[in-house]
Structure 1
Amino acid sequence: MATTGSGGGVPLLGCVADDFTGATDLANTLVKNGMTTVQLLGVPDAATAVPEADAVVVALKSRTIAVADAVAQSVAALDWLRAAGAGQFFFKYCSTFDSTEKGNIGPVAEALMARLGTRFTIACPAFPENGRTLYKGHLFVGDLLLSDSSMRHHPLTPMTDANLVRFLGRQTQGKVGLVPFPIVEAGAKAVKCTFRMLEDEGTRIAIVDAVTDRDLAAIGEACAGMALVTGGSGVALGLPENFRRRGLLTGDRVADALPAVTGPEAVISGSCSPATLAQVARFAEDGPVFPVDPLALAEGRDLVGEALDWARGRLGQGPLLVSASAPAATVAEVQKRLGVMAAGELVERALAGIARGLVAAGVRRLVVAGGETAGAVVGALGIRGLRIGREIAPGVPCTVSLGETPMALALKSGNFGDADFFTKAFRTMP
């Protein structure tokens, strides 16, 4: 049964995200802009109660799975959100457009469009606050084209083409177009007019340029009433104001309020991004670190048991870190010896087992670095939902799990956060 929220008893916005930390990033954007938000982990079943929130984000782990599976899970999540009564829908993917030549962004977007019976949507992964901007249909990471950034060497989704009109066109059946920066700069009315023109010309998905938050606000305003919006979390920045204009959001609530959670603290890191490597190095200057070696795991060494034995004597004395993060050259060598998918699955299983053991030993405040790692960890812990709170760093909020024994968690995408993120996270948690 749906509970009563400011949206009149049902969520105003229903969101499907292709990974767990990306979902949290989106939820963070919505909360910062005044929408109470709950994140559900995995496709909810028919018995799952609709949370009391303005927005509900269903977090999948579908970014790198087979296209058919990604489509099936995403459509199932959409169906649940539609049954919950959501009036607008958002498909969230990474601000670096992480996907392969075959998908999954394009096929999932087209499947959701077909399910909703809509002929047109947008694609805008821009997130200027974290250095992701779009100009002339080309995605930049800082001052570099996406194809010249570290994403070129991503082990699962190497991004070698920054031209998103061309790249997305290789994933889709329908025509991909562009809303160029001068139109976006002219404001929401010009953008909306261009949407109509492109749709009339047969464009199915339009890449939309954006280089500032002001651009994202204009794009969001132009998306008022659009059945499906797709993009990174940045483009959701302008959506709450659309509901506010309609009188569906009020200013008498604190959207980021969370209950306090006390207990031992730990970090689980599986990301190998440069940002996470810097965070691991900074933490190691003063804090205890247990390294997880994939090759040792492959040889049968019980690193899960060793890590838990190591941790038990340290719990409650300050945060500790269990890390499988490693430089690109090391990761490449491990993948060469074990295989890309096998290496990743081996590490994820180990980190999930360690997280489960740490929580059983009393850990109640947990930071997880890496989207794939976060998915594995929350799955192992049986967490089915999170309420979203204050922002720790751009794109990363505090969260508290739903259920009888709440946990405070921060689920961080690999490239997000400054070098001191881990310690800052624990200071910001409720």
Structure 2
Amino acid sequence: MTLKAGWYGDDFTGATDTLAVAARAGWRTLLFLDVPTPAQLALAGELDALGVAGSARTMSPQQMREALPRIGEFFRRMRVPVLLYKCCSTFDSSAQTGSLGTAISVLGGYVDDDTVYVVGGQPDIGRFCCFSNLFAAVGAGGEICRLDRHATMKAHPVTPMNEADLRRHLKRQGVKSVLPVHYPCYELPERELDDRVDALLSDLRSKEQGALLFDVARADDLAVIGRQLARQSERGSLLTVGPSAVVQALAVHWNRTQPALRDSLPPVATIKTSFDGRLDVGQGRVARHADIGAVFVFVGSMSPVTAVQVRHAGSYEHVPIDGVELIESPSYANLQHGVITALLDAGRHVLAYVTASPVASRSVPPGDLARATAGFIKRVVDQQAAGAAPLRRLGVAGGDTSSLAARTLDIWALSFAGVLAPGVTLCRAHSDDSRLHGLELMLKGGQMGSPDIFERLLA
């Protein structure tokens, strides 16, 4: 297997966005829920790119130092030329939680290049990096705000973003030196830009733990960045940090420079899955079913963006869930479980949503809500799988909830089924349990998607 790239997602929803980017570029690709076994790799067949979905975004530095070496070793064994540490597109992290500096320190030991390459934006989801400062849209198509003035991100409950300059942000997390490549440089002739980048790299390589930070102000910038990453990867494997724009950049560059591949691509490449788990590339968008059956959505996100989406979900029966009661009262969980499964058995679409954060209202450890909701989701899915009408489509909103929920299910990988909105991917489950194999999942971060995203899930 000769891979073009590999990625580790520091949270689950972001990892699925990278899966979508790679698949739509025409690459044969799969996202594993853990380092795959030899048997799982054999089932996957020949791939162009693969990812591993992780949860480092919620880890302490010590936890990251314990978890990431096996990831680095796996990708080194797979000989990936470009390894992406896929962080959130808003780079929300801190020295104490989800430290990008720790990720760079650990994974940098598994690639040839001593410099890490940071890509700062992703225009298709409203993320822009200009003169090293990160800007983000408020919701889909909303106002563009500098990150430290973004209402949601500056008030993030775990990693509030009070610094928009990514150079300063990375240095706070232990990256010793960060040199920028600002977007006006992308207008330079190729040779002149190459010389400028090489000079910056020469400077960085004389220092400990250096990073080269690329602006992304426009979609057209991606081809230039992709060329630079590809050029450096010819000299040895390298580590990149950023959103899915890293894979976008590589794909744009390689597809432009390989006409045979470019001309053979369908408008949208969709991974189809046969029952034995092998992959082939076909055409189409989101799988259309004459009857997808009852759809279950669970919303664990407290984001204002997701709150708007819940209000627009008129085709669902809404079931409010009290977060504190879900954690503390088994009888309450049993009652709500019974309500939801009865509605699903009657063929009704159900949207359950947490009404208040127990973290904010009570002294509850932050991970308790995500663990409680993940267990609740698994219970509903398992109940339906044991009955006459297993779920065929499931949606989960909230980064931590999505990550834990997917891991509680008996699934070992996800392939691409379609895109519901920029940054929101519909995936197809690979499982050794025939009742779960082929289950379609939407795993959505709180900030992602249009107001009608839950209605789109029913299409």
TM-score, normalised relative to structure 2: 0.83
Matched, 1:280 2:310: yes
How far off its partner does 1:179 sit? 1.1
Query: What's the counterpart of residue 3 of structure 1?
Result: none
Mapped to 2, the partners of 1:105 and 1:407 lie a distance apart of: 33
The one of 90, 94, 100 equivalent to 1:96 is 90
How far off its partner does 1:36 sit? 2.2
Matched, 1:206 2:222: no
Matched, 1:291 2:285: no
- Provide the secondary structure at the position in 1 that maps to 2:216: coil
The one of 254, 258, 272 equivalent to 1:258 is 272
Q: How many residues align?
A: 414
* Stretch deviating more after TM superposition (128-137 or 192-201): 192-201
Structure 1 pair 71–212 and aligned structure 2 pair: CA distance change class (3 A) = farther
Mapped to 1, the partners of 2:104 and 2:16 lie a distance apart of: 20
How far off its partner does 1:56 sit? 0.3
Is 1:38–1:387's contact at 8 Å kept on the other side of the alignment?
Answer: yes
Is 2:270–2:417's contact at 8 Å kept on the other side of the alignment?
Answer: yes
Mapped to 1, the partners of 2:73 and 2:259 lie a distance apart of: 26
Mapped to 1, the partners of 2:190 and 2:158 lie a distance apart of: 36
**Structure 2: segments with no counterpart, 5+ residues:** 138-143, 274-286
Structure 1 pair 188–23 and aligned structure 2 pair: CA distance change class (3 A) = farther
The one of 258, 270, 277 equivalent to 2:300 is 270
Query: What's the counterpart of residue 183 of structure 2?
Result: 181
Mapped to 2, the partners of 1:212 and 1:371 lie a distance apart of: 27
Structure 1 pair 286–247 and aligned structure 2 pair: CA distance change class (3 A) = closer
Cα displacement string for residues 8-33 of structure 1 (whole angstroms, at most 9, x for unaligned residues): x3332111110111001111112222
Cα displacement string for residues 291-323 of structure 1 (whole angstroms, at most 9, x for unaligned residues): 221221243243432233112332262421121
Is 1:176–1:207's contact at 8 Å kept on the other side of the alignment?
Answer: yes
Mapped to 1, the partners of 2:343 and 2:211 lie a distance apart of: 52
**Structure 1: segments with no counterpart, 5+ residues:** 1-8
- Provide the secondary structure at the position in 2 that maps to 1:63: helix
- Provide the secondary structure at the position in 2 that maps to 1:72: helix
Is 1:179–1:209's contact at 8 Å kept on the other side of the alignment?
Answer: yes
- The amino acid across from 2:248 in the alignment is L
The one of 376, 389, 392 equivalent to 2:420 is 392
Query: What's the counterpart of residue 415 of structure 1?
Result: 447
- The amino acid across from 1:63 in the alignment is R
- The amino acid across from 1:153 in the alignment is A
Mapped to 2, the partners of 1:323 and 1:342 lie a distance apart of: 16
Give the alignment of 1:25-424 within 5 angstroms: 25-45=17-37, 47-49=39-41, 51-52=44-45, 53-102=47-96, 103-142=98-137, 143-149=144-150, 150-186=152-188, 191-202=193-204, 204-224=210-230, 225-226=232-233, 227-244=238-255, 245=257, 249=261, 251-252=263-264, 255-258=269-272, 262-283=292-313, 285-315=314-344, 317-324=347-354, 326=356, 333-334=360-361, 336-361=362-387, 362-403=390-431, 404=434, 405-424=437-456
Mapped to 2, the partners of 1:356 and 1:392 lie a distance apart of: 25
Mapped to 2, the partners of 1:73 and 1:243 lie a distance apart of: 32
Cα displacement string for residues 120-176 of structure 1 (whole angstroms, at most 9, x for unaligned residues): 122124121222111111111132111111111111211111111011011124311
* Stretch deviating more after TM superposition (248-257 or 29-38): 248-257
Is 2:76–2:111's contact at 8 Å kept on the other side of the alignment?
Answer: no
Mapped to 2, the partners of 1:248 and 1:60 lie a distance apart of: 34
Mapped to 1, the partners of 2:227 and 2:119 lie a distance apart of: 14
Query: What's the counterpart of residue 284 of structure 2?
Result: none
TM-score, normalised relative to structure 1: 0.88
Cα displacement string for residues 307-343 of structure 1 (whole angstroms, at most 9, x for unaligned residues): 33112332262421121264xxx56633x43243444
- Provide the secondary structure at the position in 2 that maps to 1:338: coil
Is 2:19–2:415's contact at 8 Å kept on the other side of the alignment?
Answer: no
* Stretch deviating more after TM superposition (379-388 or 120-129): 120-129
* Stretch deviating more after TM superposition (177-186 or 206-215): 177-186
Mapped to 2, the partners of 1:402 and 1:10 lie a distance apart of: 22
Is 2:323–2:355's contact at 8 Å kept on the other side of the alignment?
Answer: no
Is 2:327–2:368's contact at 8 Å kept on the other side of the alignment?
Answer: no
Mapped to 2, the partners of 1:145 and 1:310 lie a distance apart of: 43
Structure 1 pair 140–241 and aligned structure 2 pair: CA distance change class (3 A) = closer
Cα displacement string for residues 333-368 of structure 1 (whole angstroms, at most 9, x for unaligned residues): 33x432434444444443444444344441121111
How far off its partner does 1:84 sit? 3.0
Is 2:224–2:253's contact at 8 Å kept on the other side of the alignment?
Answer: no
- The amino acid across from 1:421 in the alignment is I
Aligned-residue identity in percent: 26
The one of 13, 23, 41 equivalent to 2:15 is 23
